[in-house]
Amino acid sequence: MVLPLIILAGVPFIMVLGNSMLIPIFPQMEKAMNLTPFQVSLFITLFSVPAGLLIPFAGILSDHIGRKTVMVPALIIYGTGGLVAGTAAALLSQPYPVLLAGRILQGIGAGGTYQLAMALAGDVFTTEERTKVLGYLESANGFGKVCSPLLGAALALLVWYAPFFAYGLLALPIAFLVLFLVKEPEGRSRKQTAAAYLQSLKKIYQSKAAPLLACYAAGAIGLFLLFGLLSFFSDELEAKYHITGFAKGGVLAIPVGTMAAASFLGGLLLQGQRQLLKPVILAGLALTSLGLAVFAFDLSAPAAIAISALIALGIGALLPPLNTLITSSASTNERGLVTCLYGTVRFFGVAIGPPAFALAGEIHRLLLFLGAAGLAAAGIAIAAIWVNTSTMLNNTGSAGGA
């Protein structure tokens, strides 16, 4: 099972490059195409919004026709969108509209990638293994975040649009590896009628609506705060601390590397430790809230880097238990949609975070970060009241629900 796991881990790795690899090169894109900061921000928004909107439909399709049947074409579309954008930048004198179209195409493809990899891992591995495996996937996602600013900055040394070609060169081979080397479990019920499917989902949300929505909220809050902080910190590194270029990519890799390590270790340490899932979620949000409150004040560069890493540690710690609870709350035949709805709120958190932090930062830095700390504290209250580990893990569905 090692090779399929490595291949599945490649899916979140390349998916996270979709946004993070471009952030360090935004200033170069502005200069090359004579764009405003708002126009450049659309490269994030027009990727994340289509992905978020399409994730649930990808989940429904995967529950009926199979995970790979959806995931492989989605990876091909994702890679093709990058190639379209890169080619337009190389050949056209005014490439901006075509680049945006390529980003939309990438977002459409991204809607059928990471969450389906999580759902497929949930199908293949039992509950006791699932926490560790999903921790691997989350850490691969985090490792992609670590590599992406460095990779984006390095590729842009060749030419500013080189990162777009990297999407295709990475995604297309992984699509074919998933197709030929990852096996779905036999006996999945793909002939379930629409009425029976909706009835199964209704039962899940009737019994688990509050804990599921609480987990969705905690995940969305975490990703909203992480990407909002990273985008704000990226600008501040240049404007306040005068750290630019490849060095800035290296600094940004510190918090995201910390998040990746926390997700990886969390997946390992929480394996079989059901009683710790909720406490780790609460502790992760508490650490995030504390770090954001400290970040509100004027800090030296080393202190700011350290606090950003502390915040990322909290967010990285809470993701593996959230993934485990959500994927374990449904049986194999309904897991795709339940998991993909989680992916939708995560994508919207990513999409909204950077512009929200940018707008709030223009008003007042102290209010921005104290408000962000308050949002994390609200996440603690939501999770403390409504996340019920025993309810979410009490899944009596078909194979894969164990």
Question: What pLDDT, in 10s, does the model give residues 320-341?
Answer: 899 889 888 877 666 766 777 8
- C-beta separation of 122 from 323 below 8 A: no
pLDDT at 213: 93
The terminus-to-terminus CA distance of the chain in angstroms comes to 18
Question: To which residue do tokens 């439909």 refer?
Answer: 57
Q: What is the pLDDT of residue 288?
A: 98
- What's the CA gap between 92 and 223, in Å, rounded? 35
For the segment 53-60, the average pLDDT, to the nearest whole number, is 82
**pLDDT of the residue at 157:** 86
Q: Which residue has the higher pLDDT, 141 or 88?
A: 88
Q: Which CATH code fits 2-182+196-393? A: 1.20.1250.20
Q: What percent of the chain has pLDDT over 70?
A: 91
pLDDT at residue 397 greater than cutoff 50: no
pLDDT of residue 79: 96
Residue range 263-275, pLDDT digits in tens: 878 877 887 788 8
* Dihedral-angle region of residue 273 (phi above 0 means left; psi in -120 to 50 means alpha; beta otherwise): beta
pLDDT band at residue 398 under the 50/70/90 scheme: very low
pLDDT band at 61 (very low <50, low <70, confident <90, very high): confident
Residue 366 near residue 360 (C-beta atoms within 8 A): no
Q: Which residues contact 288 (CB under 8 A, 6 or more apart)?
A: 222, 225, 311, 314, 315, 318, 376
Least confidently predicted of 50-64, 134-148, 168-182, 314-328: 134-148
Mean pLDDT, the chain, whole residue set: 85
Residue with token string 């994390």: 376
- Judge whether 189 and 128 are in contact, CB under 8 Å: no
Q: What is the pLDDT of residues 215-263, one digit of tens each?
A: 999 999 999 999 889 878 887 888 899 988 778 778 888 987 888 788 8
pLDDT recorded at residue 197: 63
Query: Which among 19, 33, 137, 119 is positioned nearest to 78, based on CA atoms?
Result: 19
Residue-wise pLDDT for 363-395, tens only, equals 888 999 999 999 999 999 999 999 999 888 876
How far does CA 357 lie from the centroid of its chain? 18
For residue 209, the tally of other CB atoms under 10 A from its CB is 11
| 3-state helix/strand/coil string of 283-338 | HHHHHHHHHHHHHCCCCCHHHHHHHHHHHHHHHHHHHHHHHHHHHHCCCHHHHHHH
pLDDT at 3 over 50: yes
Q: What share of the chain is helix, strand, coil (3-state, %, to 5)?
A: 85, 0, 15
**Residue 43 tokens, joined:** 């490269």
Q: Token pair of 107, please? A: 């977002």
- At residue 194, does pLDDT exceed 90? no
pLDDT value, residue 186: 67
Distance, CA of 382 to CA of 333 (rounded, Å): 28
Sign, CA torsion 10/57/48/295: negative
Give the whole-angstrom CA distance, residue 69 versus residue 76.
12
Return the domain boundaries, the chain.
2-182+196-393
Given a cut of 50, is residue 7 above it in pLDDT? yes
Q: What span, in angstroms and rounded, lies between the C-alpha atoms of 322 and 328?
A: 10
The DSSP letter of residue 183 is P
pLDDT for the residue numbered 286:
98
pLDDT band of residue 122 (cuts 50, 70, 90) is: confident
Question: What does pTM read for this prediction?
Answer: 0.76
- Give per-residue pLDDT as tens, 296-319: 999 999 999 999 999 999 999 999
394: phi > 0 → left, psi -120 to 50 → alpha, else beta; which?
Answer: beta
Mean pLDDT of 31-49: 85
- Strands in 167-279 per DSSP E: none
Residues with Cβ within 8 Å of residue 42, at least 6 apart in sequence: 100, 103
